């Protein structure tokens, strides 16, 4: 077992960790700009409605369905650091196309969908490789500390990026904001290039055996008593999260009439919640154990999510309800995601990290794609607010189910069961 409460030398003292985290920080800020900026571009520049936005959101989920399991198998057959650099450079070139097309007056919705599709595909592969690379970079004994720093970088990005996006959209227009994310990916590639720590060679496939298959990741996730409930939560929360992925910007801008700057401030508040969560996670886990931390954070997320469909009654009340949802929801959501990542990495041998991460992303992509399309259709037929009620109540039911799983009984993350993975 790994004692996540034991004191270790601060990772930030190490040069390679500083380069890695500085690149992550810049990339996280940029990704939040384009995450909100692409749908805002569709709404404000192209006049896109609910169904068009659901298609745009679906484009960000489809690669998770088609590519995740294969990307996981590929990640386990190659070194992860050069893969991360190549993926950063590919995202730089793709995102650069949006401001260029806008500048020459050729930007259309299908182009935004195409860019979203390709960038999301690269993003899924990047997330799989990144989570597989971290244990080699920081060492398994410091997974909790390493993930806290990574999530802190993401939280700062969530705090800074949306506010920057709102200001850029107000001042320069939505397409120009995407240029900042393109540059951020270039910076990220350069910082990873500066890392000197040698990466361990990937495990060879046993002689006489076929190359690792993408399906192995799916099989081991569904067969493992702890990975299975984690995958179930990811899948079902991605289904209901489709409402937020497809409709949140439209809901804030057109239903509640909050404006792009207010939208940026709201998402920034979510980043503040995430940053608080990363700061307090270790002390909460020390007190409660990782299992209870996961279950209670899930329950808190389910309850706080009800603030979204409740929002209304004028600018101040609507903003206050969404602010509570963003601040509290991202705090509890990040607390869950951070510790879920630590638990998953701790349970998984190094040679299986890519396939397990790919299997998890597959379930998220499959149900996320279904959710974005389903809630887009629901919003067109029964209204955006009712669609959000369905999603919020669904998340609450999921949280209540999770309370009864075996995950809640874990105090410390178990070490990998190598034999269980070899049998998969």
The residue with tokens 């299986």 is 352
SS3 206: coil
Asked whether residue 3 is domain-assigned, the answer is: no
> How many C-beta atoms surround the C-beta of residue 35 within 10 A?
23
Q: Report DSSP letters for 10-26, one per residue.
A: -GGGSHHHHHHHHHHHH
Give the burial class of 110: count Cβ atoms within 10 A of its Cβ; 0-12 exposed, 13-18 middle, 19 or more buried.
exposed
- pLDDT value for 50: 67
Question: Token pair of 356, please?
Answer: 């397990």
| Residues 393, 33: Cα–Cα separation, whole Å | 29
- pLDDT value for 210: 39
Number of domains in the chain: 1
- pTM assigned to the model: 0.70
Helical H runs in 104-197?
109-138, 143-172, 174-193
Asked whether residue 5 is domain-assigned, the answer is: no
CA distances to 1, 219, 278, 344, 418 from 414, rounded to whole Å, are 5, 20, 22, 10, 12
**Total number of residues shown for the chain:** 424
Asked whether residue 173 is domain-assigned, the answer is: yes
| Of 330, 364, 412, 13, the residue nearest 152 (C-alpha) | 330
CA distances to 281, 295, 303, 339, 403 from 289, rounded to whole Å, are 11, 10, 22, 10, 14
| Residues 35, 116: Cα–Cα separation, whole Å | 9
For the CA atoms of 297, 120, 190, 356, the dihedral, rounded to the nearest 10 degrees, stands at 60
Domain that holds residue 228: 14-198+214-422
> How many C-beta atoms surround the C-beta of residue 8 within 10 A?
13
Determine contact, residues 226/410, Cβ cutoff 8 Å.
yes
Question: Token pair of 162, please?
Answer: 């949306």
Residues 6 or more apart whose Cβ sits within 8 Å of residue 104: none
Asked whether residue 6 is domain-assigned, the answer is: no
Asked whether residue 205 is domain-assigned, the answer is: no
Asked whether residue 4 is domain-assigned, the answer is: no
- pLDDT value for 361: 81
Question: Token pair of 322, please?
Answer: 């969404």
**Which stretches in the chain have pLDDT values below 70?**
1-9, 36-37, 44-45, 49-51, 53, 61, 63-65, 67-70, 162, 166, 169-170, 173-174, 201-214, 418-420, 422-424
Q: Report DSSP letters for 229-275, one per residue.
A: HHHHHHHHHHHHHHHHHHHHHHIIIIIS---HHHHHHHHHHHHHHHH
Determine contact, residues 76/202, Cβ cutoff 8 Å.
yes
Give the burial class of 43: count Cβ atoms within 10 A of its Cβ; 0-12 exposed, 13-18 middle, 19 or more buried.
buried
> How many C-beta atoms surround the C-beta of residue 154 within 10 A?
25
Question: Token pair of 38, please?
Answer: 């692409």
The residue with tokens 């070899």 is 422
- pLDDT value for 207: 41
- pLDDT value for 395: 92
- pLDDT value for 85: 92
Condensed to tens digits (0 to 9), the pLDDT of residues 174-186 reads: 677 788 888 888 9
Q: What are phi and psi of 134, to 5 degrees?
A: -60, -45
Q: CATH number of the domain that 113 lies in?
A: 1.20.1250.20
Asked whether residue 8 is domain-assigned, the answer is: no
Q: What are phi and psi of 403, to 5 degrees?
A: -60, -30
Asked whether residue 208 is domain-assigned, the answer is: no
């Amino acid at each position: 077992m790994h004692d996540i409460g034991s004191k270790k030398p601060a990772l930030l003292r190490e040069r390679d960790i500083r380069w890695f985290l500085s690149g992550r920080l810049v990339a996280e800020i940029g990704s939040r700009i384009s995450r909100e900026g692409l749908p805002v571009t569709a709404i404000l520049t192209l006049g896109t409605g609910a169904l068009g936005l659901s298609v745009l959101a679906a484009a960000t989920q489809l690669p998770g369905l088609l590519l995740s399991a294969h990307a996981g198998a590929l990640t386990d057959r190659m070194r992860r650091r050069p893969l991360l650099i190549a993926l950063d450079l590919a995202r730089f070139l793709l995102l650069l196309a949006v401001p260029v097309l806008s500048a020459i007056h050729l930007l259309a919705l299908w182009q935004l969908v195409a860019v979203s599709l390709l960038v999301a595909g690269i993003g899924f592969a990047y997330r799989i490789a990144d989570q597989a690379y971290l244990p080699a970079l920081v060492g398994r004994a410091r997974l909790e500390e390493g993930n806290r720093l990574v999530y802190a970088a993401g939280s700062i990005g969530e705090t800074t990026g949306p506010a920057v996006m709102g200001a850029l959209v107000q001042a320069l227009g939505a397409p120009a904001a995407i240029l900042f994310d393109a540059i951020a990916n270039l910076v990220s590639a350069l910082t990873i290039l500066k890392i000197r720590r040698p990466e361990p060679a990937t495990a060879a496939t046993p002689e006489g055996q076929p190359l690792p298959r993408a399906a192995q990741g799916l099989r081991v996730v569904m067969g493992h008593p702890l990975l299975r409930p984690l995958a179930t939560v990811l899948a079902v929360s991605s289904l209901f999260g489709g409402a937020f992925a497809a409709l949140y910007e439209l809901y804030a801008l057109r239903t509640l009439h909050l404006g792009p700057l207010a939208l940026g401030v709201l998402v920034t508040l979510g980043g503040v919640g995430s940053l608080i969560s990363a700061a307090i996670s270790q002390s909460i886990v020390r007190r409660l154990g990782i299992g209870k931390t996961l279950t209670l954070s899930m329950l808190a997320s389910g309850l706080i999510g009800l603030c979204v469909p409740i929002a209304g009654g004028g600018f101040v009340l609507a903003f206050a309800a969404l602010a509570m949802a963003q601040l509290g929801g991202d705090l509890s959501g990040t607390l869950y995601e951070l510790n879920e990542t630590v638990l998953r990495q701790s349970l998984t041998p190094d040679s299986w990290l890519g396939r397990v991460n790919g299997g998890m992303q597959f379930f998220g992509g499959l149900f996320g794609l279904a959710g974005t399309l389903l809630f887009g259709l629901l919003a067109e037929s029964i209204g955006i607010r009712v669609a959000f009620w369905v999603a919020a109540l669904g998340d609450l039911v999921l949280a209540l189910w999770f309370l009864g799983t075996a995950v809640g009984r874990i105090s410390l993350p178990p070490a990998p069961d190598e034999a269980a993975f070899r049998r998969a």
